[in-house]
Homo-oligomer: A and B are copies of this chain.
């Protein structure tokens, strides 16, 4: 804790006075009381980014799906399980937020209905009907009082096309893209930052270092926007 205070003390306060609301980790969509659909997100990138935002002086609310990670010091964590719970927790945290960062690997689909009791195994095939989950980031970005929104895209191929397509479709000023095989579950990551000025590839590095780069880029874009609004 002392070390964390020292590191934070010597960090430039690029986000001082800002409130950042973030999501991280996977979501878990119940099939029955024990089974569910999830994904391989470890939450490490989101937690590293929450810590970097905090070190940069921001007030941070981290809405987190199930991970085994401890909350970074000074970060206000809200634990959720499903995408619907995550949407509600984000909505509750949004007032006064300057920045929203959607890092969570929100499940795109959930079972249409969850069984109340554990489904007993049978020897035959089973069909599961899935219904689309809300797109939390798109919903936040579409609000009339939307904060500055940063998206994440983890793709297994054609990163530029998918990432930039996602950024434009959701009208995000900034998006962090990476290839699934480069980051998911690992301690390292290699990302490309996308914004209105183009693509900015970053070197492969520890997720803590990548998080610091993202904060610097974000702070730069916030400064440009503030200058523009002041004109």
Q: Is the CB of A33 within 8 A of B117?
A: no
* Among listed A51-59, A120-128, A213-221, interface-contacting one: A120-128
6 A-B pairs (CB sep. < 8 Å): A34-B40, A35-B37, A35-B39, A117-B157, A118-B180, A128-B128
Q: Is the CB of B130 within 8 A of A127?
A: yes
Complexed CA–CA distance, A41 and B118 (Å): 14
List residues of chain B with CB within 8 A of the CB of A209. none
Kindly supply a per-residue 1/0 record for chain A positions 47-68, scoring 1 wherever the CB is within 8 Å of any chain B CB and 0 otherwise: 0000000000000000000001
Complexed CA–CA distance, A131 and B83 (Å): 26
Q: Which of B105, B123, B126, B156 contacts A130 (CB 8 A)?
A: B126
Residue A36 at the chain B interface, CB threshold 8 Å: yes
Residue A108 at the chain B interface, CB threshold 8 Å: yes
Q: Is the CB of B121 within 8 A of A131?
A: no
Complexed CA–CA distance, A35 and B36 (Å): 11
Residue of B nearest to A131 (CB): B125
Instruction: Report the copy number of this chain in the oligomer.
Output: 2
Q: Is the CB of B35 within 8 A of A155?
A: no
Least Cβ distance of A90 to chain B in Å?
A: 18
Residue of B nearest to A157 (CB): B117
List residues of chain B with CB within 8 A of the CB of A180. 33-34, 118
Q: Is the CB of A128 within 8 A of B130?
A: yes
List residues of chain B with CB within 8 A of the CB of A126. 109, 129-132
Q: Is the CB of A31 within 8 A of B37?
A: yes
Q: Is the CB of B34 within 8 A of A36?
A: no
User: Which of chain A's residues 93-147 have a Cβ closer than 8 Å to chain B?
Assistant: 105, 107-109, 112, 117-119, 121-132, 135
Residue of B nearest to A28 (CB): B40
Residue A190 at the chain B interface, CB threshold 8 Å: no
